[in-house]
Structure 1
Amino acid sequence: MTSTLEPATARSTADVAVTLTDVRKAFGHGPSAVVALDGVDLRVAPGEFVCLLGASGCGKSTLLNLVAGLDAPTAGRIELATSRPAVMFQEAALMPWLTAVRNVELPLRLAGLKRGPRREKANELLSLVRLVGAGHKRPHELSGGMRQRVALARALASTLGSAEEGTPGLLLMDEPFAALDAITRDVLQAELVRVWRETNTAILFVTHDVREAVRLGQRVVLLSSRPGRVVREWDTTTGDEAALIGDITGHLREVISGHAAA
C-alpha cells in the first residue's frame, strides 16, 4: 500500500475538512520498527470540533503531525480540503523579538498580504481572543495564558487563506493548555469554544484529559494504546455530561489496562 497526502486544492466547496483512510505510521524498518499508528480511519467535517483522546504514547501527536504535513504516513491516505492547516502546540512558540501583533501578522505576511490590511486583520484577531491593547507587547511581557491567546490568533490567521479560497479552515491543536494552571486552562477552554463558534473553523484537538475532551468537543474519538487505532467514538452533544465522562473514562482505563497486560 502506498501513502499519499492529497490537499484538495481544486475544490471550491467541500463536505469534509480532513479524511484519514487506513493510515499507518511506523518509525524505523524491519523487526526494530515501531508502529505508532495502524489502520486509522477518521473524518472531520467543516466546522466540526473533534477531540482525539488516548493514553500517553498512543500516537495522538503523531497523527496530528501527519495531518499537518510535518511527517508522511507509511501507508494510507490523508485528504485535506485546505492547503493551510494551522497548528497550535503546548508551547506558544512565539517569535520573542516580535510584538504580539507582529507575531499574528507573520502568516499573513508569508501569504503575501500587504502591510495595512494584515495589520488590520491581526488587530481584529487579537480582539477576537480578547487581547485588545496588548498588541505592542513582546512575549516576555505576557502571561502564559496571554501568550497562548496570541498563538491562537496567529493560528487563526493561518487559516484565513482557506476561507478566501472557499475551503474549510482547519486548526490542529496538540494539548495547547496542558502547561497552564487549572484556572487559566478553564478560562481558555471557554474562550476557545467561543472563538470556534464565531469562526466556524474545524478543530482537531489532542488531549489525554477526558473532562477537557467532553467539555470542548462535539465528538470524542478514543485511540487504543500503541499502535494507535480508533476504538470508539462518542457524540457529546446529547446525553448527560457526567455519565458520558464516566463511560469514556471506563473505556480509556480498559485501553490502558489492556496495553499494560500485553
Structure 2
Amino acid sequence: MTATLERSAPVRRTPAVALTGVHKTFGSGPSAVTALRDIDLAVAPGEFVCLLGASGCGKSTLLNLVAGLDRPTSGTLDVRTTRPSVMFQESALLPWLTAGRNVELPLRLAGMSRKERRARAEELLELVRLGGQAAKRPHELSGGMRQRVALARALAAATSVTDADTPGLLLMDEPFAALDAITRDVLQGELLRVWRATGITILFVTHDVREAVRLAQRVVLLSSRPGTVVREWTVGANSERLHEEITARLREVITSHAA
C-alpha cells in the first residue's frame, strides 16, 4: 500500500503563477479548436498543485502556457518566479553527455562557472540519490535512473537563479507515466522528498487520481475540452475518501462530455 505523507498548507503570498480568464484557441474560423476556456488558477510560492483531467482536456496546453512555450489567446498570465523548468514523460537526456554534464547544461546556459556548475550538479545528483553516477551516460542507466537525472537537470534549471522570496518553478507533464508501477511509486516518494528539501513550486499534470492525491497539496480538476476548472480540493489526511470523491467527479465530467 502506498503511504500518503502529511503535508502542510502553503503560506499564502503573492502567487508564483496566476491565470485569470485564460483562453487558448488553436487555428481560426470553422476549423478552430478551443483547448482552454476561462481558466482561473493561482499557485502559491512553494505549493505543490496537481492538474487532473482526462486525456485531451488541455492540461499540457496549460502547462505550455505557464512555461512560456505558447501564449494565451486571451486572458492574463503572470509568472513571478525564477525561470520555469519543464520535465516531460521522456527524460530527453542528451545521449552524448554524461549524467553530470546533462545536469550541468542549464547551469552552463545560465553563465555559471565550470567549477560551480560541476559542484552544483553533483549536489543535485546526490539529492535524487544518484551520487557517484555522474560519469555514466544515459544508455548505462535504467529508465527510473534517467528520470532522476532529468529531475536533477530540471531542478538545476529552476534554481539556477537564487531568490529566497521567489522559489523556482518546476512544471511536470506526466513524468512518471511511462515507468513501471514499482519505479513510479518510488519516484513519487522521491519527488515529495526533493520538494520538501528545496521548497520549489511544482505544477504537476496527471490523469491518475491516486498519483494526484498522493503528491499534491491541492488537486485541480479540468473539464473535458475545452478545459476549464471544474473543482479544486485541498489534500488532507483522509486520502482514500478524497480519492473516491475525485474519481466520482472525474467520471461525471467524462460521462457528460461523452453524452
Bin the TM-score by the shorter chain.
over 0.9
| Structure 2 counterpart of 1:251, from 236, 249, 252 | 249
1:83 CA displacement: 4.5
2:215 corresponds in structure 1 to 216
Q: Does 1:88 align with 2:87?
A: yes
Q: Distance in 1 between matches of 2:227 and 2:134?
A: 41
Superposed CA deviations along residues 91-124 of structure 1, whole A, max 9, x for unmatched, are 0000000000000000000000000011000000
1:253 CA displacement: 0.1
2:231 corresponds in structure 1 to 232
Alignment of 1:86-235 (within 5 A): 86-164=85-163, 166-235=165-234
CA contact (8 A) 2:17 2:78 kept: yes
Q: Distance in 1 between matches of 2:204 and 2:180?
A: 19
TM-score by length of 2: 0.93
Counterpart code for 1:210: V
Greater alpha carbon shift after TM alignment, 246-255 vs 163-172: 163-172
2:3 corresponds in structure 1 to none
**CA RMSD of the aligned region, Å?**
1.0
Q: Distance in 1 between matches of 2:167 and 2:161?
A: 6
CA contact (8 A) 1:82 1:162 kept: no
Superposed CA deviations along residues 19-72 of structure 1, whole A, max 9, x for unmatched, are 011110001001210000000000000000000000000000000000001111
Stretches of structure 2 that go unaligned for 5 or more consecutive residues are 1-12
Q: Distance in 1 between matches of 2:81 and 2:52?
A: 24
1:44 corresponds in structure 2 to 43
CA contact (8 A) 2:82 2:159 kept: no
- Structure 1 counterpart SS, 2:160: helix
TM-score by length of 1: 0.92
Superposed CA deviations along residues 194-221 of structure 1, whole A, max 9, x for unmatched, are 0000000000000000000000000000
CA contact (8 A) 2:80 2:166 kept: yes
Superposed CA deviations along residues 116-167 of structure 1, whole A, max 9, x for unmatched, are 0110000000000000111000000000000000000000001113434742
Q: Distance in 1 between matches of 2:30 and 2:37?
A: 16
Counterpart code for 1:86: S
Q: Distance in 2 between matches of 1:98 and 1:111?
A: 18
Q: Distance in 2 between matches of 1:169 and 1:234?
A: 24
- Structure 2 counterpart SS, 1:92: coil
Aligned length: 247
Q: Once superposed, which parts of structure 1, at least 4 consecutive aligned residues long, lie more than 6 Å away?
A: none
Greater alpha carbon shift after TM alignment, 79-88 vs 213-222: 79-88
- Structure 1 counterpart SS, 2:159: helix
CA contact (8 A) 1:44 1:50 kept: yes
Q: Does 1:15 align with 2:14?
A: yes
- Structure 2 counterpart SS, 1:255: helix
Q: Percent identity?
A: 72
1:223 CA displacement: 0.1
Q: Distance in 2 between matches of 1:40 and 1:255?
A: 16
Q: Does 1:242 align with 2:237?
A: no
Q: Distance in 1 between matches of 2:75 and 2:52?
A: 21
2:31 corresponds in structure 1 to 32
1:260 corresponds in structure 2 to 258
Counterpart code for 2:72: P
Counterpart code for 2:220: V
